[in-house]
Copies of this chain bind each other. A is one copy, B any other.
């Protein structure tokens, strides 16, 4: 039984305040990171807080990538969850750490769906099953506020 994908949780410390508070830069860096991982970007939601801080979420064909920044602490919390053999979540994390010029970073790597039982995956390849749903065009993309 294979896992369906890998979820990387990343801590970024010692990042320049001005980068962490730059909404457009954070959005662009997140999208670039997803592409470095070999993932397909389907959409995003993001927000800049007052007096500081940015949250950006990327919706991927292969799951998601997010980053939340605390400029006043030089800290950013990121994660990247991708499924399929063609994507490498760790690459997204490494790219993000470079872009945000982190002095130090930590990545925790969590394989997902390890607890599926044989009966649940009978006749189904868990990676193939989901990945085949990514080969068609976007059918619906709903976004809204509140």
Q: How many of A's residues come within 8 Å of B, CB to CB?
A: 69
Kindly list chain B residues whose C-beta atoms are within 8 Å of the C-beta of A139: 47-50
Determine if B68 and A120 form an interchain contact, defined as CB atoms under 8 angstroms apart.
Answer: no
Query: Within the assembled complex, what's the spacing in Å between the Cα atoms of A141 and B143?
Result: 11
A54 → B minimal CB distance (Å): 10
Kindly list chain B residues whose C-beta atoms are within 8 Å of the C-beta of A42: 47, 145-146
The answer to whether A53 and B133 touch (CB under 8 A), given A7-B9, A77-B113, is: yes
A73 → B minimal CB distance (Å): 6
Determine if B106 and A108 form an interchain contact, defined as CB atoms under 8 angstroms apart.
Answer: no
Kindly list chain B residues whose C-beta atoms are within 8 Å of the C-beta of A50: 133, 136, 139
A63 adjacent to chain B (CB < 8 Å)? yes
Query: Within the assembled complex, what's the spacing in Å between the Cα atoms of A52 and B124?
Result: 13
A35 → B minimal CB distance (Å): 12
The answer to whether A59 and B79 touch (CB under 8 A), given A27-B142, A50-B136, is: no
Can you list 7 A-B contacts with CB-CB less than 8 angstroms, sorted by A residue number?
A9-B110, A44-B142, A45-B142, A49-B61, A64-B66, A70-B130, A141-B145
7 more contacts with CB within 8 A, not counting A13-B115, A45-B142, A70-B129, are A5-B77, A44-B142, A46-B59, A66-B66, A72-B124, A73-B121, A141-B145
